[in-house]
Amino acid sequence: MVQLEDSVTRLESGDLTLEESLEVFEQGVTASRACALRLKETRKRVQALVKKQGGEMDLEFLDQDQGGVEDDGLADDD
Protein backbone atom coordinates (compact mmCIF):
# COMPACT_ATOMS: atom_id res chain seq x y z
CA MET A 1 0.00 0.00 0.00
CA VAL A 2 2.88 2.35 0.82
CA GLN A 3 4.44 1.72 -2.58
CA LEU A 4 1.14 2.54 -4.29
CA GLU A 5 0.78 5.77 -2.32
CA ASP A 6 4.38 6.68 -3.14
CA SER A 7 3.76 6.09 -6.85
CA VAL A 8 0.71 8.35 -6.79
CA THR A 9 2.59 11.10 -4.95
CA ARG A 10 5.51 10.96 -7.38
CA LEU A 11 3.21 11.03 -10.42
CA GLU A 12 1.17 13.92 -9.04
CA SER A 13 4.33 15.97 -8.39
CA GLY A 14 4.84 16.52 -12.11
CA ASP A 15 8.63 16.46 -11.61
CA LEU A 16 9.25 13.21 -13.51
CA THR A 17 10.29 12.75 -17.10
CA LEU A 18 7.99 10.79 -19.36
CA GLU A 19 10.19 7.70 -19.03
CA GLU A 20 10.29 8.01 -15.22
CA SER A 21 6.53 8.52 -15.15
CA LEU A 22 5.96 5.34 -17.15
CA GLU A 23 8.22 3.38 -14.82
CA VAL A 24 6.50 4.72 -11.70
CA PHE A 25 3.10 4.07 -13.29
CA GLU A 26 4.06 0.44 -13.97
CA GLN A 27 5.21 0.06 -10.36
CA GLY A 28 1.90 1.55 -9.21
CA VAL A 29 -0.11 -0.88 -11.33
CA THR A 30 1.86 -3.79 -9.90
CA ALA A 31 1.29 -2.51 -6.35
CA SER A 32 -2.41 -1.97 -7.06
CA ARG A 33 -2.80 -5.54 -8.28
CA ALA A 34 -1.02 -6.86 -5.19
CA CYS A 35 -3.36 -4.83 -2.96
CA ALA A 36 -6.43 -6.06 -4.86
CA LEU A 37 -5.28 -9.67 -4.52
CA ARG A 38 -4.67 -9.27 -0.80
CA LEU A 39 -8.10 -7.65 -0.37
CA LYS A 40 -9.74 -10.50 -2.28
CA GLU A 41 -7.98 -13.11 -0.13
CA THR A 42 -8.93 -11.23 3.03
CA ARG A 43 -12.58 -10.98 1.99
CA LYS A 44 -12.67 -14.75 1.66
CA ARG A 45 -11.44 -15.11 5.24
CA VAL A 46 -13.79 -12.61 6.86
CA GLN A 47 -16.58 -14.51 8.49
CA ALA A 48 -19.16 -13.58 11.06
CA LEU A 49 -20.90 -15.97 13.41
CA VAL A 50 -24.51 -15.03 13.72
CA LYS A 51 -26.63 -16.43 16.49
CA LYS A 52 -29.96 -17.48 15.04
CA GLN A 53 -33.24 -17.76 16.88
CA GLY A 54 -33.31 -20.94 18.94
CA GLY A 55 -29.62 -20.68 19.88
CA GLU A 56 -28.19 -22.16 16.68
CA MET A 57 -24.96 -20.73 15.36
CA ASP A 58 -24.68 -20.04 11.64
CA LEU A 59 -21.60 -19.14 9.62
CA GLU A 60 -22.30 -16.08 7.46
CA PHE A 61 -19.84 -14.52 5.03
CA LEU A 62 -19.89 -10.74 4.93
CA ASP A 63 -21.11 -9.31 1.65
CA GLN A 64 -19.08 -6.68 -0.23
CA ASP A 65 -22.08 -4.35 -0.18
CA GLN A 66 -22.17 -4.39 3.63
CA GLY A 67 -18.47 -3.57 3.92
CA GLY A 68 -18.67 -0.41 1.86
CA VAL A 69 -15.87 -1.56 -0.45
CA GLU A 70 -16.15 -0.73 -4.11
CA ASP A 71 -15.86 -3.59 -6.62
CA ASP A 72 -12.27 -3.64 -7.89
CA GLY A 73 -13.24 -5.50 -11.06
CA LEU A 74 -10.72 -8.22 -10.26
CA ALA A 75 -12.90 -10.46 -8.13
CA ASP A 76 -14.17 -13.65 -9.68
CA ASP A 77 -17.55 -15.11 -8.87
CA ASP A 78 -16.54 -18.35 -7.10
d(CA 52, CA 49): 9
pTM above 0.85, yes or no: no
Looking at residue 33, its pLDDT comes to 94
| Per-residue pLDDT tens digits for 2-58 | 888 999 999 999 999 999 999 999 999 999 999 999 998 887 776 445 555 566 666
d(CA 1, CA 65): 23
Q: How is the chain split into domains, by residue range? A: 2-67
